[in-house]
Amino acid sequence: MKIGIIEVDHYELAYSICRVFDFHENEISFFVSEKMYEQLYKGLGNASKKFKWLVNDKNESLKDFLNRARAEIINEKIELLFLNSIYNNYNLYSALINKTKTRTVLTVHNVNSWFKPVSDGIQSFLDYRTKRKILKNVSAINVLGDELKDYLLSVTNIKKPVLNLPYCIYESRNAEPSDNNLLKFVIPGSIDTRRRDYMPVLDIFVKIYKDFKDVSLILSGKPVGEYGKKIIEICRNYKKEGNKIIFFEEFVPQDEFEKYLGTCDMIISPVRKCMFFGKTSEEYGLSKATGATFDMIKFAKPGIMPSDFKVPGYLKNSVLTYKNINDLYDIVNMIHNDRNVLKNLKEHAISNSLKYSVDNVRNIIQPQIEEIMKIEKW
């Protein structure tokens, strides 16, 4: 089968889809931004050479790029197209789908924004109308988790197939041994006030640093806006005081990101309960997924998250939750003083991640794709 992947933003998702469908006689073509091309070509290693690449040049408009993509999809007779990350320019993607007539799987990252938006003026109304056209013309919907799938089915009467093709996969090389002499915690993702609340974590680490000299904290993400700058300034002061803290002031290169996640002991994700897109609210773990849980799967790491986050069922035995900063301190204190707790959490994390190996995901998703390919009209 000839498969196309359009991706301008999410490296992990494009990588995972490629790995899952790169078998037998499948031929894969990428339609990507320059940034995605650089990340994917390096990340996929020697296999990159056998894939076809159409890259959105820096000086090329999205419209021109999608026109080139449309021609390539038609000429190459692409049979299945994965449309992964759409946040704007909905009319251009709608035109692409209509003109290619290719079976298309649309990944919906924010369920409410696509199916239950709150009006925020004329532009949001026009965007919603175009989204409805896209939803009408795609062959299937992909969401990033069972909880999101259940929620989508509960709030809509959608008749199209709904897939759960995961954002990331587990490959044993992703999980590396950590330094037994240093307890490492990582907060992955951009330092964005809309997504995560860093202050309680940083506040409690003042006490943690005072009580434990063998604990480190790594903020593996780029700061966003004034809030991001404020958090970085706090981290800079912590470092001046001699505390073990690592942070970045620009985009974190993929290899460095993977190094820190691969060698940490636990992932902390102080994710907020909700994130707004205009006036539309998305609840993490219900209508929107968070990258932290995917990192826990990819790197087989246990996690620490706020108690009001709906932890996915497949991670419940490897994720600890906190209601307040005192709870968070108690968790770190417990792990520091009893490494058997950490050992057990890590064993559960590895067991959970093994369910997301390439072979396991492929065995689940392939029959669903075969059914989609049988549909004459969608």
pLDDT score of 375: 80
- 142 φ/ψ angles, rounded to the nearest 5 degrees: -115, 130
pLDDT score of 118: 84
At 120-133, the pLDDT tens digits run 788 888 899 999 99
How many angstroms separate the CA atoms of 116 and 151, rounded? Answer: 12
How many angstroms separate the CA atoms of 208 and 326, rounded? Answer: 11
Here the tokens at position 25 are: 């006689």
pLDDT score of 335: 95
Indicate the pairing of strand 140-142 with strand 27-33. unpaired
Alpha helices in 76-121 (DSSP H): 90-100, 111-115
DSSP string, 197-214: --HHHHHHHHHHHHH-SS
Whether the CA torsion 331, 332, 333, 337 is positive or negative: it is: positive
Per the rule left: phi > 0, alpha: psi between -120 and 50, beta: everything else, 285 is left
pLDDT score of 174: 56
CA angle (137, 138, 141) in 5-degree steps:
140
At 72-108, the pLDDT tens digits run 999 999 999 999 989 899 999 999 999 998 999 999 9
pLDDT score of 178: 60
At a CB cut-off of 8 Å and minimum separation 6, what does 195 contact? 189, 271, 272, 275, 290
Tell me what the mean pLDDT of segment 244-269 comes to. 95
How many angstroms separate the CA atoms of 111 and 120, rounded? Answer: 17
Tell me what the mean pLDDT of segment 229-236 comes to. 97
Tell me what the mean pLDDT of segment 366-371 comes to. 94
pLDDT at 377 over 60: no
Q: For residue 111, which of 74, 147, 137 has the smallest C-alpha distance?
A: 147
pLDDT score of 13: 95
Tell me what the mean pLDDT of segment 317-324 comes to. 97
At 7-28, the pLDDT tens digits run 988 999 999 999 999 998 999 9
- Between the alpha carbon of residue 143 and those of residues 45, 114, 126, 167, 211, the distances in Å are 27, 12, 23, 9, 42
pLDDT at 243 over 80: yes
Mean pLDDT for all residues in the chain: 94
Looking at the chain, the whole-number percentage of residues with pLDDT higher than 70 is 97
At 22-75, the pLDDT tens digits run 998 999 999 999 999 999 999 999 999 999 999 999 899 999 999 999 999 999
At 159-207, the pLDDT tens digits run 999 999 999 999 976 556 566 679 999 999 999 999 999 999 999 999 9
pLDDT score of 179: 61
How many angstroms separate the CA atoms of 372 and 149, rounded? Answer: 17
pLDDT at 336 over 70: yes
Q: What pTM, to 2 d.p., does this model score?
A: 0.91
pLDDT score of 176: 60
**Residue spans of beta strands (DSSP E) within 174-333:** 183-188, 215-220, 245-246, 266-268, 274-277, 280-283, 303-306, 319-322
At 270-301, the pLDDT tens digits run 999 999 988 899 999 999 999 999 999 999 99
Q: What domains can be seen in the chain, in order of their start residue?
A: 2-169+357-374 (3.40.50.2000), 172-354 (3.40.50.2000)
pLDDT score of 175: 55
Tell me what the mean pLDDT of segment 107-119 comes to. 92
